Every structure is written in C-alpha cells, then in structure tokens.
C-alpha cells in the first residue's frame, strides 16, 4: 500500500488504512476512527475548486483522506452518487439576506442531508471489500432517529453481498419517516421498529459491534459487520465536502473575500454534521463560529455552556425527531481533539458516561481550546414561530430541524450583534418530510393525516411536494415488525437465518 492516511481509534487502538476503516465502521475497542492528521487546503486550492462541479470537488477532498482509493475511482463514485440529486450542485446555497445563507442539503433521493454521504458510502464500501479481499457478506447495522434509516436503505438496496438491517424507535420518528422506511424496497433490506428511543437503538447496535460472541456467530453465518451510522468515517468524509464547497461558492459569488471567516450553524443530533465542519476548519477553512443548535433535548447546549455532559435528564419527543438524542456519539471525536488526542483521557470520560451518565471537562479549558463552539437551543414554541416567521418574511419554508438552527442563529445574533460575519445555516431536511408539524406551525391547525397535511401545505404555500413524498401514498408497507429493545440480537439472527 502507498503511503497513505491512517486512522486511529479515539480509545487507542492501532492505526488502520482508509478501506479497512470504512469496512469496520467502528474500532473493535468501541472507539471511533479518526484521521492521523488533517490534510491541509489552502486558499489557492479553494480558488481552484471554483471551476469544478460538485462530484469533482468531492473526489478531490475525499482523495486527501481516503488514500486507499484512486482519484478516478472516487470521481466515478461521486458522479454516480450525486447524479441522484435533483440539483446540479448537490448542495446549493440560497441567499436569504445580506449576510445569511441556507445550505440546502436535502436534494438527494430521501430528502435529508444523510443522502449526501449515504449515496456514496455503498460505493466506498464495495470498493473497500474488493481492496481488502473480503469474501464474507457485509452486514450493515443502522440505528436511526429517522433519516439515516431511509437514506441507508435507499443507498444499499440491492447492493451485492450486502444485507442491511435498520432499527428505529417505534414512537420516535415522524409519520413520513416511518412510512419511508416501511415501504423500503430491495431484496437485502430489513427494517425493525423497537420499543424504546433512539439512544436505546443506538446503544443496542453499538453493543453488537463489541460483543465477541455475537461477532463470532455472525461470522460463522458468513457475515462481517459494518456501520452506516455517522460513527463510520465513510459517513463523515463526504460531509466535509459541502462545507468547503459552500465556501467556494460564496467566494465565486463575491459574497466573501479570500480568507474571510464565516459562521456555520448546524442542527445537531449525533454531532456528525457539525463535526465535519470542524474537520473542514482543521484543514484550513476559515470559520469563526460553529453554532451548535439543539432542540429541547439540550445536552449539547449545556455541555458547551458548562463543560458538563449529563444525560441524567428527561428525554423529550419533539417536532425535530432526528435531533432527539441524548448520547451524541461523534462528540467523542471532538473530545479526542480537545484532550490533545489523549486516548486514556477519552477512555476515562467515556467510562464516566457509562457508569454515571455524565462526564465533566474543565469549563475554562473548553472555552480556551474550542472557543469557536457556541451552543444554543430552541424550545418547541420557538421552533414553530421561526417556521411561521421565516415563511412570512422570506417566503422560504423551513423544516423543523432547520428551524431549530435558525432559532439558534437568531439567539446568537441577539447576543453578539455579529452583523459583519457571513453565516451559513445547514438545512438538513425538506419541509415536506414533516408536513403535519410544518402545517401546524404555519396555520395553528393540526392535520393528523400525513397525506392530507401534504395537500394542505401545498395549497397554503404553493410549494409542490417532492415526488419521493407524493409517491409514498401508493407504496406497499413491506416492513412492520415491532420488538422490545432487549430483543435486537435475537431478531437480527432470525432475520439473517431466513435469508
Ligand atoms: C440526522 C439529522 C440531524 C442531526 O445530524 P447529526 O449529524 O446527527 O448531528 C439533523 N437534522 C436532520 C433532518 C437529520 O436527519
């Protein structure tokens, strides 16, 4: 193998190459793979990207990290993946006022930002299988708070030598998200609802990755595990691309000067999306602030305020279900950087979290080392008001997750009066994925049936529902099992035995 990027677990396990890291998904010590260094991009590199289309930009950035793959190979994958988007630039920017932009990340097949990574991950994984000479089938396990599930099912359906099993919280996703998953086609797709919340699903899935007996059993059945969750570095890398690409676009459109710092505002759940922005920053992208937006489950806001990460609190179901998470897995990667890549320190913090549901880092040190991070949260009422006001003011319809980010941005602005800095708000889902709640925010009227809400929302806003949503009505429910959260392992074995 050529001299390439290697990856180390946040909990200390030795280095692996990019193909292996994508295949494994998570390190066997339970830690998350992180690149051994951040490749740099200069202003010259950024200016050169101006002439490239989105797939070329993606291939270029990915080639800096995924050094087991050739540039041409990555370009082929990126072209295939991003041709499925309904916008030429895959992740276009919309200007809402002088200094504020929306980065639309939902132009892919399932209308959520997860598509940006999950349309290309199957190619990266298939490529990795070849490079590693993997003969076993790849078993993709997914825990989803709603959007990852459908995007992964769509990306991996009918991919050779691959089975995908998605676990989602039965009561914790929107009606549209549930329907999208229940109607997933493909001979290798499996969808299971669990009685529990996302954290339960994520914990159960993560446990399987470190359960030696289970791994052995699956191996005897001919499977090797991998993950399509954002713990897989193959999910994060494609997300770095759009932060850099948006900067290129701002420069091309003369919205910023070369080297000018900008803000990113990101609605956070598992912390993968905003971590990708941080990785872009470490590569050299000029970023002033990362605004970590949370809903009522404001563990992250409290963490950035106080240095204490504490999940001993009530869990709320909100109208932004993909952010209803208490244990944000990818924060471990930020903590790894915060501690100066001290694996022992990371391990002891994670141990604290396991034992007492909390850990604490020094508040002053947190501010000193990561001053760019600021957390804000939005209450349900504030989120609804933002959807209504934003539509009235800009004639632009926000989904509830993006509205949480706009709400956080408004709070940031009233705290800082930061009128000088260009701010880019990551828009993570299409509003028609949450028609009942968006319609209610606009009209104060509740329409219980999703399909009726879609029609009424169309009539009210004049915005046409995307075909991926409109078609759902005609689709057949193919997956409807519900199991207790303790039954995940047994169910998994049963599903695979039937195959
Ligand atoms: C997954 C998701 C988020 C949270 O992203 P993370 O990378 O998990 O922080 C926010 N909004 C939507 C619509 C999502 O699907």
Average pLDDT of adjacent 10-residue blocks, the chain of 499 residues: 83 93 93 97 97 98 98 98 95 96 97 97 96 94 92 96 96 91 96 92 89 95 93 97 98 98 98 98 98 98 98 96 95 98 97 97 97 98 98 97 98 96 98 96 94 95 93 93 94 90
CB of 425 sitting under 6 A from ligand 1: no
**Domains of the chain by residue range:** 93-108+234-466
Q: What is the pLDDT of residue 363?
A: 96
CB of 294 sitting under 6 A from ligand 1: no
Ligand 1 nearest atom to the CA of residue 114, by list position: 15
Cα–Cα distance, 236 to 31 (Å, whole number): 15
CB of 333 sitting under 6 A from ligand 1: no
- The three-point CA angle 164-167-170 to 5° equals 145
Give residues with Cβ within 8 angstroms of 112, minimum separation 6. Answer: 105, 106, 147, 150, 151, 322, 428, 429, 430, 433
Pairing of strands 100-104, 422-427: parallel
Separation of CA 5 and ligand 1 centre (Å): 27
Q: What is the pLDDT of residue 3?
A: 64
CB of 270 sitting under 6 A from ligand 1: yes
Ligand 1 nearest atom to the CA of residue 146, by list position: 15
Please state the three-class secondary structure of 49-80 as a single string: HHHCCHHHHHHHHHHHHCCCCCHHHHHHHHHH
Helices 343-356 and 331-338: crossing angle in degrees, nearest 10, is 130
Q: What is the pLDDT of residue 384?
A: 98
CB of 271 sitting under 6 A from ligand 1: yes
Q: What is the pLDDT of residue 107?
A: 97
pLDDT tens-digit series, residues 4-32:
999 999 999 889 999 999 999 999 899 99
Q: What is the pLDDT of residue 194?
A: 95
Cα–Cα distance, 73 to 67 (Å, whole number): 11
CB of 339 sitting under 6 A from ligand 1: no
Separation of CA 399 and ligand 1 centre (Å): 12
Separation of CA 83 and ligand 1 centre (Å): 22
CB of 114 sitting under 6 A from ligand 1: yes
Separation of CA 103 and ligand 1 centre (Å): 14
Ligand 1 nearest atom to the CA of residue 147, by list position: 15
Ligand 1 nearest atom to the CA of residue 273, by list position: 7
Please state the three-class secondary structure of 103-151 as a single string: EECCCCCCCECHHHHHCCHHHHHHHHHHHHCCCCEEEEEEECCCHHHHH
- Structural class in CATH, domain 93-108+234-466: alpha beta
pLDDT tens-digit series, residues 198-213:
889 989 898 998 899 9
Ligand 1 nearest atom to the CA of residue 429, by list position: 13
CB of 383 sitting under 6 A from ligand 1: no
CB of 230 sitting under 6 A from ligand 1: yes
Whole-prediction pTM = 0.95
Torsion of CA 469, 481, 117, 207, to 10 degrees: 160
CB of 138 sitting under 6 A from ligand 1: no
Q: Which of 228, 268, 274 to mutate to test the pocket of ligand 1 (most atoms within 8 A of CB)?
A: 268
CB of 112 sitting under 6 A from ligand 1: yes
Percent over 90 (pLDDT), the chain: 91
Separation of CA 151 and ligand 1 centre (Å): 12
CB of 429 sitting under 6 A from ligand 1: yes
Ligand 1 nearest atom to the CA of residue 276, by list position: 7
- Could you count the other beta carbons within 10 Å of the beta carbon of residue 101? 21
CA distances (Å), origin 403, targets 325, 365, 386: 17, 31, 6
CB of 322 sitting under 6 A from ligand 1: yes
Separation of CA 439 and ligand 1 centre (Å): 21
Q: What is the pLDDT of residue 473?
A: 86
């Amino acid at each position: 193998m050529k001299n390439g990027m290697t990856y180390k677990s946040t909990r200390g396990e030795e280095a692996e190459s990019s193909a292996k890291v994508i295949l494994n998904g998570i390190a066997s010590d339970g830690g998350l793979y992180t690149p051994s260094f951040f490749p740099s991009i200069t202003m010259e590199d950024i200016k050169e990207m101006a002439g490239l289309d989105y797939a070329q930009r993606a291939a270029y950035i990915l080639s800096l990290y995924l050094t087991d793959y050739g540039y041409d190979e990555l370009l082929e994958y990126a072209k295939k993946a991003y041709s499925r988007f309904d916008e030429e630039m895959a992740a276009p920017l919309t200007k809402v006022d002088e200094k504020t932009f929306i980065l639309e990340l939902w132009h892919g097949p399932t209308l959520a930002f997860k598509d940006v990574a999950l349309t290309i991950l199957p190619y990266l994984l298939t490529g990795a299988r070849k490079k590693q000479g993997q003969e076993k089938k790849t078993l993709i396990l997914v825990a989803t708070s709603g959007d990852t599930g459908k995007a992964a099912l769509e990306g991996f359906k009918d991919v050779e030598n691959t089975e995908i099993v998605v676990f989602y919280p039965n009561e914790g996703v929107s009606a549209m998200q549930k329907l999208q998953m229940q109607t997933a086609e493909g001979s290798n797709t499996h969808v299971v609802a669990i009685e529990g919340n996302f954290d339960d699903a994520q914990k159960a899935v993560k446990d399987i990755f470190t359960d030696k007996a289970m791994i052995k059993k699956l191996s005897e059945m001919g499977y090797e595990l991998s993950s399509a969750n954002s713990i897989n570095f193959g999910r994060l890398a494609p997300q770095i691309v759009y932060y850099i690409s948006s900067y290129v676009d701002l420069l091309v459109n003369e919205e910023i000067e070369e080297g000018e710092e900008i803000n990113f505002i990101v609605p956070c759940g598992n912390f993968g999306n905003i971590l990708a922005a941080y990785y872009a920053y470490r590569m050299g992208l000029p970023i002033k602030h990362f605004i970590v937006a949370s809903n009522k489950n404001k563990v992250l806001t409290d963490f950035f305020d106080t240095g204490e990460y504490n999940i001993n609190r009530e869990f709320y179901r909100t109208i932004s279900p993909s952010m209803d998470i208490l244990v944000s897995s990818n924060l471990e990667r930020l903590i790894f950087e915060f501690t100066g890549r001290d694996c022992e320190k990371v391990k002891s913090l994670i141990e604290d979290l396991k034992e007492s549901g909390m850990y604490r880092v020094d508040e002053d040190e947190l501010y000193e080392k990561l001053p760019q991070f600021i957390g804000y949260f939005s209450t349900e009422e504030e989120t609804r008001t933002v959807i209504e006001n934003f539509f009235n003011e800009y004639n632009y319809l926000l989904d509830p997750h993006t509205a949480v980010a706009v709400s956080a941005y408004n709070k940031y602005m009233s705290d800082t009066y930061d009128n000088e800095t260009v701010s880019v708000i990551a828009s993570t889902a299409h509003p028609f994925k949450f028609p009942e709640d968006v319609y209610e925010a606009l009209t104060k009227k509740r329409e219980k049936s999703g399909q009726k809400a879609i029609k009424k929302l169309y009539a009210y806003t004049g915005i046409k529902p995307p075909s991926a949503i409109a078609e759902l009505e005609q689709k057949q429910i193919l997956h409807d099992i519900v199991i207790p959260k303790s039954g995940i392992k047994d169910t998994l074995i049963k599903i695979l035995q039937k195959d």
